[in-house]
Each structure stands twice: as structure tokens, then as C-alpha cells.
Structure 1
């Protein structure tokens, strides 16, 4: 543990997957431990999504200034590099940080589910006092997360349990990601809307995607969903959605520069200010930009063929059913005319992301469109792309 006048840093060694291989996970805390409200923010859980790393750099600078001025009234915990394992997965000079190359899947899936353990510990102790229930459930969540950590095996499982244990008792949890080429968009639990509207409004997000259960147990839902699941199970007792947990997609992988990162960091700080983690009067809330639509209404438009894609629309454009989105060209087709395949939208909505690589295969997601109407899904299929 390293303590300065401005923050406290804790470095934790993860168990190695091979002899001599060690990764360190670092947390930086501003404000006193156990102070409320508590915010937890992490970046690059998908380790090749780098915009959040630069945002964290600028956010730390702002928090250093706020701490020096005595303005921090809550507790703010940062994990500037949330996935040192993925960050070390470099193949042919390219970081492959979305999936664990050791075979344990997507780094942002399959986080521990704490609901049943918490229900067993806290269910019989709930009262008509919502503040009592929040305190009770937070303690049970923390204890359940610690138990999961004690039972973790291997580096990736330990990493996930450490991140969950650090965030599980937070009032606010922000998981900073990015898409391929995209507008800023945010994933939120449906029970958090519209009370969480100030987050996308402050950040200037274009789209908010709502779901109570997206499938796959991503980090943000592992932190927040126990609250509304307990509220449904024990509906005779007041249990608020006491953690605003969100996945913030900081545009696309190429949107990495000081100007954008400094602006995003400032907006995050202002959001925390408005939520009571800093003293003084926050800046006025900007005009709302984002629209909220169901995650179940998202169309992942996939390629049917292999070839080179030429996009006809860009993120931010509104499209209609049947509208051409892209053309895929096969340079080896019998004739040039037969070598062009047009891909069209299946819904009305807003394109908020598209592929970055222009050499595509059958099944490649070309465009992602936010629609207002839930779409039919195959049984057992989650709402996320992978």
C-alpha cells in the first residue's frame, strides 16, 4: 500500500497462470475509507479498449486537485487498469484484450452471481426501513464477494472477484469501455432509469440501452442487479436500487486523444459532484441528448458473405427498415457487378456503432442499430453481441 497526501494506492498480485508470471492489479482511493457516497470507476476491463485509460489519467489529475483543495466529501475508488492480464496478451504487436487467451472467455462475462448468498444472509432481517435494508444488503454483498474471492482459482477468476469485491458496495459504479467505431453510448439497468438520466446527459451520450438482464452476467449487472432482484423477491419491504452501475462506451477504439479524454474526465467529475461526492455547487446540467431504448431492440447487422465492406451510413444516422447500410465487395467475383452484396437494415432506429476492420467474414457485425421495439431472439440467446 502506498499512501500520499492525496490518495491511497493498493497493489495486489494476481496468482500466476505459469511459473514466474505475475500480474498486478492496482486500486487508487480518494477520500476516507467507508465514507459515503462511494463511487467506483474502472477502465479497460476489455484491455484493448484504451480510451478509458487516458480518461483515468486526466481524472486522477482532477481528483488530485480536488483532494488538495479539501473538496472530496465521499469516497472515490479507481482501477485505472482493470485488466492487466488482457493488457499483456500481445500477438503480432496487437493487444487481444477482450477474451482470455487461456480459454476462460470474455473478460466482461460470467462475473459471480451473489443473489442467492445475499438472500440467505439478509432475507430474514429486512424491515420497513429502507435505510436499514440498504445497509444490511450492502454488508451482505460485501461478505458474499469476499467469500467468492477466497474460493477463486487462477488469475482471471481472481481478477474478476477482486474487481467485484471493490465495487459491490458502491453507490455509483462506472465501467469504462469503448466500441469499434461509435458514438458514446451507455448500458444501464432498466430499474435505474430515469433516475440515472443525469449520467448520459452530463457525458453527452447519444444512446442509452436499457436491460434488467442482458445475459452473460457482465460486470455492471453483477454489481447492480442484486438490488432489483432482491426488491422483486422481497416486495413487501422497501429495497431501492441503491447502486447506479453503468457501462460507459467511450466512442470508438480510435477516439484516444487528450482533448476528448480531458473533457470526459471533467464530465465524470461533474457527475460525481452532482451526486454528492464533492463539496460546493456543481455546474448546471446540460440539455439532454441521449434517448433511452431497450437493449432488446438492438439489431446487430451481420455480414452474410466475405469481402471488403464499404459503409453507406455512419454512427449517428437514423435509418429505416430496408435501407442499405453497407456494400460488401468480393474482388474475385466472376464479374464486378456480381461481386457487390448490399446489406440492409432490418429495423427503424439509430446506427450507433459499426465495424472498424473493413475485411469482413460471414457473421461479422457490420452495424449496431438502436431500435425502440424489442426484437425476437432465439431461446437462450442473450442481448449482448458476444
Structure 2
């Protein structure tokens, strides 16, 4: 194992932060897998799971069982981790700009298209090398102007040429669920079995250039942009990326983290990047559904929230999700499911103002368009 410390741009005199990555195996040999945790810095289950995964990988490394390259970044957002306001962690948005830490990663497809146009042939492996070389050159020339931009550059530089990217997050209160782009699903599906995900949300460009889609998106985007110039299949989906939501913010225990780390390790064995007999895949706990079919349950009125449905619970149209009580007017508003599906996430606070989100239900029929991600 090799540890590398990457310095961020200093935002102020006498102040600087460091992002640390742990490297296993040999670069350029076999597959490259990139795993990071807590890009939203207050989402800690992934950070603890990464801690336990590192122990498993260290043991495998000692035994010579690493057959590719694995990079783990257990703390992907040192900026957000240091942000506090009124004694509360503020790790989702950068306080100086209000930008979401998991948005606005570079559009590598647009950046490299001029450099690769006219140079790609019929061989997918050769094309992958050319595209990755162009992306590497673009990232090397990127001159960040802020601490936040420098963090994005470091993360992008570590992951852009990975075959598989796992971005570990969590929700407020939730069952395990995954977000991935539709072309990535065949590679990601075994992970959903091992983690026993209760919902898998598929989309093609959900909007906002989140980290995972910034890694997998360039491949299908380039294939689409150059479909008239290169043979079908000549641009492979060379990166499969996924956002892994490890339950809720309060689900930070060694037992859960060890179980998640073991599932991640088993997935690495399934990919062949760690030697050994991979664990048998259990039956899937859900089927994949379109992100565009998920209902955001909103509260049109303010009040105290009393939930009737639990994360991971299957609901039918009309089932009660929560009641919102106004004790001044003595009224009760019933928020109900508008789709058949799984309540995969809900808020952790119990008072809402009008228009706030209560939770999300994974439905099977697409009905939403535009930007499919929240703030």
C-alpha cells in the first residue's frame, strides 16, 4: 500500500488542507478501481466502511492478492469536513459559494471531443487509450483558482481513468440504495446484490455533473457525439460508476460498516481485481427502476411531521407516507404515495415548512424530466 497526500489550494493566509489517497496494486496492470467516501462530508457511513475496507485491502495486499489497481479516498472532502455553523456540520455545500460539493465536476466529453475527433478507429481498446490520454492532458492543464476547484481536480485526476468508480454516500434516513447511469448497470448489478440494495435508480444524465456521472458519462456521450464517424461499439463504456447510498446519516456503527466493507471487498473479488473465490451473489432485494419514475414526496403545508412509512417499505398508490400536523389550526395533512414502489429515503427532521421534501419513492414508470437530482 502507498499513501499519497495531495495539497489543496490555500483559501487564506496560514491555512491549507490535504486530501489523502491510499493505493494498492500496480498502476497500468489489470483493472483500476476507485473508491471514495463522504464527498458530502457529513455523510459518514461510507467513511467508516472505507476504514474497514482499507484493513481488508491491506491484508490482501500482504498476501499478494491485488491483481489490478485500487485507490481508496476515505475522506473525499476535507473542506466540507472542517465546515461548521452553529455547532452543526455543513458538509454538503461549500460555504463560500453555496455550491454542492457533488456538482459541477468537469464535462470531460466536451473537453476531449476536439482532441480525439478524427483519430478514433474500430478498436475499442485503442480508442479507450486515446480518450484517456486526451482526458489526462486536459486535467493536467486545468488551473484551479479556488480551494474547491483544486479539490475537484484532485478527485477527478485520481478517478477519470478508472474502470469502476464507487462513490460512497448516505441519505438522511434511508435504506441502502444506488444511483447509476443506465449503461453502467450490467457492471454494477452484482454490487447491488451484495449490498442488498432496496432501490436502484437508473438514469442517463440526471443533471448537475455529479462526480459519478462525470466519470462514466464521457464514454456514452462521446459514443453519441461520434456515432456517425466511428463504427458502432468502437467507443466502449470504459467506466462504470455508481453512487452508493449507505442508509442514513445516523447509521454509523462498526457492525454495519464491517458488513458494507465485506460487500465491497466481495465485489472487488467479483471484478477480479482481488484474488480469491468471490462470495455467492444473494438474490436481488429489488429491481432497478428509472430515476425519472421516483416520486419526491413534498409537504405543501408547514407543521410537525409524523411518519407512517419506514425506509425500505413497499408502498402502493394512496398509502400514507406521513402526516403533517398544524397544532394551531388543529389540522392534519396526509402525504400519500403517488406511485407503487419503495420508500428509499426520508428526511430526519420532524418539522417542515411549506414546500419541503419529505422523502422519495422508487416507482417503475418514468414521469419526470429535466434535472432529476435535488440540491
**Common fold, TM-score beyond 0.5?**
yes
Paired residues of 1:175 and 1:247 also in contact (CA < 8 A): yes
Paired residues of 1:312 and 1:327 also in contact (CA < 8 A): yes
Q: What is the CA deviation profile of residues 183-235 of structure 1, one whole-angstrom value per residue up to 9, with x for unaligned ones?
A: 10001111122343112112211111001100111000001100011111223
Residue 321 (str. 1) matches residue 321 (str. 2): no
Aligned pair partner of 2:25 in 31, 36, 49: 31
Residue 137 (str. 1) matches residue 126 (str. 2): no
Aligned pair partner of 1:262 in 258, 268, 271: 258
Residue 79 (str. 1) matches residue 73 (str. 2): yes
Q: Where do 1:232-271 residues align within 5 Å?
A: 232-235=224-227, 236-237=230-231, 238-271=234-267
Quote the Cα distance in structure 2 between the aligned partners of 1:183 and 1:293.
Answer: 15
Secondary structure of the residue that 2:14 maps to in structure 1? coil
Deviation of 1:120 after TM superposition, in Å, equals: 1.4
Q: What's 1:369 paired with?
A: 361
Residue 301 (str. 1) matches residue 323 (str. 2): no
Deviation of 1:365 after TM superposition, in Å, equals: 1.1
Deviation of 1:104 after TM superposition, in Å, equals: 4.2
Paired residues of 1:178 and 1:250 also in contact (CA < 8 A): yes
Q: What's 2:106 paired with?
A: 112
Q: What is the CA deviation profile of residues 337-357 of structure 1, one whole-angstrom value per residue up to 9, with x for unaligned ones?
A: xx2111122222211111111
Q: What's 1:287 paired with?
A: 283
Paired residues of 1:73 and 1:276 also in contact (CA < 8 A): yes
Q: What's 2:10 paired with?
A: 16
Secondary structure of the residue that 2:5 maps to in structure 1? strand
Paired residues of 1:86 and 1:99 also in contact (CA < 8 A): yes
Quote the Cα distance in structure 2 between the aligned partners of 1:239 and 1:97.
Answer: 37
Secondary structure of the residue that 1:105 maps to in structure 2? coil
Q: CA RMSD in A?
A: 1.3
Quote the Cα distance in structure 2 between the aligned partners of 1:132 and 1:244.
Answer: 18
Aligned pair partner of 1:157 in 136, 140, 149: 149
Q: What is the TM-score with the length of structure 1 in the denominator? A: 0.93
Q: What is the CA deviation profile of residues 129-185 of structure 1, one whole-angstrom value per residue up to 9, with x for unaligned ones?
A: 11111121122222222223xx21110011011101110000110000000111100
Paired residues of 2:198 and 2:342 also in contact (CA < 8 A): no
Paired residues of 1:311 and 1:326 also in contact (CA < 8 A): yes
Residue 208 (str. 1) matches residue 197 (str. 2): no
Runs (5+) with no aligned partner, structure 2: none
Q: Where do 1:32-71 residues align within 5 Å?
A: 32-71=26-65
Q: What is the TM-score with the length of structure 2 in the denominator? A: 0.96
Secondary structure of the residue that 2:261 maps to in structure 1? helix
Aligned pair partner of 2:181 in 189, 193, 214: 189
Moved over 6 A (4+): none
Residue 382 (str. 1) matches residue 374 (str. 2): no
Moved more, 286-295 or 218-227: 286-295
Quote the Cα distance in structure 2 between the aligned partners of 1:365 and 1:146.
Answer: 40
Paired residues of 2:200 and 2:288 also in contact (CA < 8 A): yes
Q: What is the CA deviation profile of residues 24-82 of structure 1, one whole-angstrom value per residue up to 9, with x for unaligned ones?
A: 11111011223221011000000000001100110110011001111111111111100
Q: What's 1:3 paired with?
A: none
Q: What is the CA deviation profile of residues 312-339 of structure 1, one whole-angstrom value per residue up to 9, with x for unaligned ones?
A: 1111222222322111112222xx3xx2
Aligned pair partner of 2:217 in 210, 225, 249: 225
Secondary structure of the residue that 2:349 maps to in structure 1? coil
Q: What's 2:307 paired with?
A: 311
Quote the Cα distance in structure 2 between the aligned partners of 1:188 and 1:170.
Answer: 15
Quote the Cα distance in structure 1 between the aligned partners of 2:185 and 2:74.
Answer: 27
Q: What is the CA deviation profile of residues 231-283 of structure 1, one whole-angstrom value per residue up to 9, with x for unaligned ones?
A: 11223331111111100000111111001101111111110111111123222
Paired residues of 2:49 and 2:257 also in contact (CA < 8 A): yes
Secondary structure of the residue that 2:244 maps to in structure 1? strand
Moved more, 306-315 or 195-204: 195-204
